[in-house]
C-alpha cells in the first residue's frame, strides 16, 4: 500500500457545526512523511477549522482521517497527543508560569500523574529550547515576554512533545524578520534531522511559497488546488480564491512564485 | 548566518544554570516541611488565646504531661484544641478547592462557592434553625445534616440545569450556579424576614462560626476533606496545562470535559461537608490561592498544598481575633477573614507589581 509512506490521509472529509452551512466539504489529500504542506486561503475559507479537524479537536461529519494508518477519530486523545503537537495562534497563558515550565508541559502526554516526570523529560524540554534558541528565555515569566518570544516558547513546547506531525497555525505572525528566518531554518532542520512532517497555515503567501513543499489552497471550504507552489500560486487560482488580480514574479534565488500588489 | 548572536548569548552561561529544572519533588518536600512546622507553631500560639487566661508554661506542661487541673484541661482539650483543628481543616479545604476552581475555570475570581453550594447549605441550615424554633425539637445537632443535604440538593440542581445547554464548557455550570444561588438566597431572605428569635443564630451561621467545634465533628470531616484534596492534588498537572487554554490542553491529551466535572464534583463535595459544620466562611478560598501563587508560583503541584497550609494558618489566626477582640462576645469569623484578608491581599498585589 502506498499509504505506508503517508503520515496523514484525509478521505472525503466534511465538517459543519450542528448541521448548518458546511465549513469543509469533500477534503481529500495525503501527506507523505517529511513533507511541509502549507495551507493558504482567504479569511473564512476554513483553514483553522481544517487544522482542528486534523488535530482531532473537531470530529468530521463525514469521511475518514487516518494518522499513521490508524483511524484518527477512534484514537483516544491521550494517544493523539503523542503523535500530533500544535503551535497555536493564541499563546496567552492564564497564570504566570516560567517559560521553561510551559515548555515542560509538552511532556505531559508522557508523564504519569502519580509518579511525576523523569530527568529525561527535563532533558528533552531543554533540548527543545536549545533548538528554538529560547534557552535564554527559560527563567522568564511567560506573561512578561513579547508575543514573538512566547511563540518561540510554544514552538519549543510543541517540539518537547516529540510528535510525528507538527501543526502550525500562522505561527510566524508575531515574529520579526530575523526570527522568521530563524524559524524557517528550524523547520527545515526538523524536517530533515528529526523526520517531522509539518502542516502549517500561512497568512503570508510569499512565506508559504518559500517554506512549503506543496501548497493547499482552500476556498469556501473546498480544496481549490493542491500542488507545488508554482502550480497553486497562479494568476488564475489567486483570482478565483481571493478575487483580486495579483502580479506574480519568480523569486530570484529560490525559483518559487512571489505575489506582489 | 543570522543565528550567531543567539548562540553567543546562550553560551555566556552554562546550560544547566539557564534552564535548570529543579526536581518538583524537592520543592514539594521542602514546602511540606515548612508548612507543617508553621502550622504547628501557629497552633501552639493560638492555644494561648481565649477568655480564660492560661499561661504558656501551663499549656506546655499540660500538653506534655497532662495536668490535675480539670478546668484547664477541659478548656485546652475540649474547647481550644478542637476549634484550632477544625479551623485548620476548614481553611485548608476552602483554599485548596478555591485554587483548583480558579485553575479549572482559568478565572482568578473563582471561589469555592461558585457552583451554588454555599446557598444550598445556607438554606438547609436556616430551614433547620427555623424548624427548631417552630417545633421546639432540638435540631441543633442535626444542623450539619440539614446543611449538607441543602448543599447536595443545590449541586444536583446546578449540574442538571447546566446539562440542558452549553454542555461543552463551563459557562453553563457557572450560569446555573449563579441562578441557583440567587434563587436560594431569595428563599433565605424570606426565612430571615419572617424569623424573630432565631434571626441571630441564622445570621451567625451565614457568616461562619467555629465556636461549636468538637472532636466528633472533626472526626467526621477529616477523612473526606483529606481524600478530596488529595484527588484534586493528583489533577495538578492537568490544571497546569489548562492555563494554556482549553484547546492546548486537549492537544496535550487532556480530556478537559471529564476533568472539569471531576474537579467540580470533588471540590463541591469537600466544601459541602466542611461548610455544613462551620457555616459560610468567605474570602479564604478566594484570596489564599492568590497569596500561595505569589509565594510559590503557579505550579498546582506546589501551589495547592501551599494554599492548604496558608489557608489553615490564616483561618486559625482569624479565629483568634474573632474570639478575643471584644471577648466574651464573639465576632463571626467570616467578617474577620474579609477585614484582615482584603487589605493584606491588596498590599501583596501592590508589592508584587513594584
Q: Which domains does chain B have, with CATH numbers?
A: 31-353 (1.10.3470.10)
DSSP A88: -
The answer, yes or no, to whether residue B15 has pLDDT greater than 70, is no
Which residues of chain B neighbour A56 with C-beta distances below 8 Å? Answer: 250
Determine contact, residues B168/B257, Cβ cutoff 8 Å.
Answer: yes
Task: Characterize the bridge pairing of strands A257-260 and A247-250.
Answer: antiparallel
Question: To probe the interface with A, which of B3, B100, B233, B251 has the most A CB atoms within 10 Å?
Answer: B251
> And the C-alpha cell for B178?
449563579
Q: What is the pLDDT of residue B56?
A: 74
Helix (H), strand (E) at residue A63: strand A62-67
For residue A171, the model assigns a pLDDT of 78
| Measured distance CA(B268)–CA(B289) in Å, rounded | 17
Angle at A243 between CA A237 and CA A248, to 5 degrees: 50
- Out of A90, A98, A111, the one facing B237 most closely (by C-beta) is A111
pTM (global) more than 0.80: yes
* Per-residue model confidence as pLDDT tens digits over A208-229: 999 999 999 999 999 999 999 9
Look at residue B3 and tell me whether its pLDDT is greater than 50. Answer: no
Tally the C-alpha atoms within 13 A of residue A60's C-alpha that lie toward its C-beta.
25
The set of residues, in sequence order, having a beta carbon less than 8 Å from that of A253 and lying 6+ positions away, is none
Residue pair A237/A224 in contact (Cβ under 8 Å)? The answer is: yes
For the segment B211-221, the average pLDDT, to the nearest whole number, is: 87
Q: Please provide the DSSP assignment of B263-325 as one string.
A: HHHHHHHHHHHHHHHH----SHHHHHHHHHHHHH-S-HHHHHHHHHHHHHHHHHHHHHHHHHT
Secondary element (H or E) of residue B243: none
Local confidence band at B2 (pLDDT 50, 70, 90 cut-offs): very low
The helix/strand/coil state of A40 is: strand
The span from the CA of A150 to the CA of A167, in Å, is 17
Q: Which of B15, B237, B245 sits opposite A90 (nearest CB)?
A: B245
Sign of CA dihedral B231, B234, B237, B240: positive
For the residues A86-101, what does the mean pLDDT come to?
A: 91
Q: Which of B21, B107, B233, B352 to mutate to test the interface with A (most CBs of A within 10 A)?
A: B21
Pairing of strands A6-16, A62-67: antiparallel
Class of domain A2-260: alpha beta
Closest residue by Cα to residue A259 from A220, A200, A209, A211: A209
Chain B residues within 8 Å of chain A (Cβ atoms)? 2-3, 6-7, 9-10, 15, 18-19, 21, 24-25, 103, 106, 108, 234-235, 237-238, 240-245, 247-248, 250-255, 293, 297-299, 301
**Contact assignment for A135 to B253 by CB distance below 8 Å:** no
Q: Is A29 helix (H, G, I), strand (E, B) or coil?
A: strand
Mean pLDDT of chain A: 90
Q: Do the chains contact at B248 and A109, CB–CB below 8 Å?
A: no
List beta partners, residue A10. Answer: A29, A65
Query: Measured between beta carbons, which residues in chain A are less than 8 angstroms from residue B247?
Result: 52, 57, 86, 88
What percentage of chain A has pLDDT greater than the value 70? 98
What are the extents of the domains in chain A?
A: 2-260
Reported as a pLDDT band with limits 50, 70 and 90, residue B313 is very high
Q: What is the mean pLDDT of residues B68-97?
A: 88
Task: Give the Cα separation of A145 and A167 in Å (integer).
Answer: 23
Which residues, in sequence order, are bridge partners of residue A16? Answer: A22
% pLDDT > 90, chain B: 35
Amino acid at each position: 500500500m502506498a499509504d505506508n509512506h503517508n503520515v496523514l490521509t484525509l478521505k472525503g472529509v466534511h465538517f459543519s457545526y450542528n448541521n448548518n452551512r458546511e465549513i469543509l466539504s469533500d477534503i481529500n489529500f495525503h501527506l507523505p512523511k517529511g513533507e511541509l504542506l502549507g495551507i493558504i486561503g482567504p479569511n473564512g475559507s476554513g483553514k483553522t477549522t481544517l487544522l482542528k479537524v486534523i488535530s482531532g479537536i473537531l470530529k468530521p461529519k463525514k469521511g475518514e482521517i487516518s494518522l499513521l494508518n490508524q483511524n484518527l477519530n477512534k484514537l483516544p486523545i491521550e494517544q493523539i497527543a503523542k503523535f500530533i503537537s500544535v503551535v497555536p495562534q493564541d499563546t496567552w497563558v492564564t497564570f504566570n508560569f516560567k517559560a521553561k515550565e510551559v515548555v515542560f508541559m509538552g511532556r505531559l502526554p508522557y508523564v504519569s500523574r502519580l509518579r511525576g516526570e523523569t530527568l529525561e523529560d527535563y532533558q528533552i524540554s531543554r533540548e527543545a529550547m536549545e533548538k528554538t534558541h529560547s534557552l535564554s528565555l527559560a527563567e522568564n515569566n511567560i506573561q512578561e515576554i513579547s508575543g514573538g518570544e512566547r511563540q518561540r516558547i510554544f514552538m519549543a513546547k510543541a517540539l518537547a512533545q516529540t510528535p510525528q506531525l507538527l501543526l502550525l497555525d500562522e505561527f510566524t505572525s508575531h515574529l520579526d524578520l530575523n526570527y522568521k528566518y530563524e524559524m524557517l531554518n528550524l523547520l527545515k532542520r526538523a524536517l530533515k534531522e528529526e523526520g517531522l512532517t509539518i502542516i502549517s497555515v500561512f497568512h503570508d503567501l510569499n512565506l508559504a511559497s518559500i517554506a512549503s513543499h506543496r501548497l493547499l489552497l482552500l476556498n469556501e471550504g473546498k480544496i481549490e488546488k493542491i500542488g507545488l507552489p508554482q502550480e497553486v500560486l497562479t494568476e488564475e487560482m489567486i483570482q478565483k480564491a481571493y478575487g483580486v488580480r495579483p502580479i506574480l514574479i519568480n523569486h530570484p534565488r529560490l525559483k518559487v512564485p512571489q505575489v506582489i500588489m | 548566518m543570522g543565528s550567531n548572536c543567539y548562540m553567543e548569548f546562550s553560551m555566556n552561561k552554562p546550560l544547566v544554570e539557564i534552564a535548570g529544572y529543579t526536581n518538583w519533588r524537592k520543592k514539594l518536600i521542602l514546602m511540606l516541611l515548612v508548612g507543617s512546622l508553621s502550622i504547628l507553631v501557629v497552633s501552639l500560639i493560638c492555644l494561648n488565646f481565649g477568655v480564660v487566661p492560661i499561661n504558656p508554661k501551663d499549656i506546655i506542661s499540660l500538653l506534655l504531661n497532662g495536668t490535675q487541673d480539670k478546668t484547664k484541661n477541659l478548656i485546652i482539650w475540649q474547647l481550644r484544641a478542637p476549634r484550632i483543628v477544625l479551623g485548620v481543616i476548614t481553611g485548608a479545604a476552602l483554599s485548596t478547592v478555591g485554587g483548583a476552581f480558579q485553575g479549572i475555570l482559568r478565572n482568578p475570581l473563582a471561589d469555592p462557592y461558585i457552583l451554588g453550594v454555599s446557598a444550598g447549605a445556607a438554606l438547609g441550615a436556616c430551614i433547620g434553625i427555623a424548624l427548631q424554633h417552630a417545633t421546639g425539637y432540638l435540631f441543633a445537632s442535626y444542623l450539619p445534616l440539614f446543611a449538607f443535604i441543602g448543599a447536595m440538593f443545590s449541586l444536583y440542581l446546578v449540574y442538571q440545569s447546566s446539562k440542558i445547554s452549553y454542555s461543552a464548557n463551563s459557562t453553563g455550570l457557572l450560569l446555573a450556579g449563579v441562578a441557583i444561588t440567587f434563587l436560594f438566597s431569595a428563599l433565605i431572605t424570606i426565612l430571615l424576614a419572617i424569623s424573630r428569635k432565631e434571626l441571630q443564630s441564622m445570621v451567625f451561621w451565614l457568616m461562619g462560626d467555629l465556636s461549636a467545634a468538637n472532636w466528633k465533628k472533626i472526626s467526621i470531616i477529616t477523612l473526606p476533606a483529606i481524600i478530596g484534596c488529595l484527588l484534586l492534588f493528583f489533577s495538578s498537572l492537568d490544571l497546569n496545562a489548562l492555563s494554556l487554554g482549553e484547546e492546548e490542553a486537549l492537544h496535550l491529551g487532556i480530556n478537559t470535559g471529564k476533568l472539569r466535572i471531576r474537579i467540580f464534583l470533588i471540590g463541591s463535595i469537600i466544601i459541602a461537608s466542611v461548610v455544613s459544620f462551620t457555616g459560610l466562611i468567605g474570602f479564604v478560598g478566594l484570596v489564599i490561592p492568590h497569596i500561595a501563587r505569589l509565594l510559590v508560583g503557579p505550579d498546582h503541584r506546589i501551589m495547592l498544598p501551599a494554599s492548604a497550609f496558608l489557608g489553615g494558618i490564616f483561618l486559625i489566626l482569624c479565629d483568634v481575633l474573632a474570639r478575643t477582640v471584644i471577648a466574651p462576645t464573639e465576632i463571626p469569623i467570616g467578617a474577620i477573614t474579609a477585614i484582615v484578608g482584603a487589605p493584606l491581599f491588596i498590599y501583596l498585589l501592590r508589592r508584587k507589581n513594584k
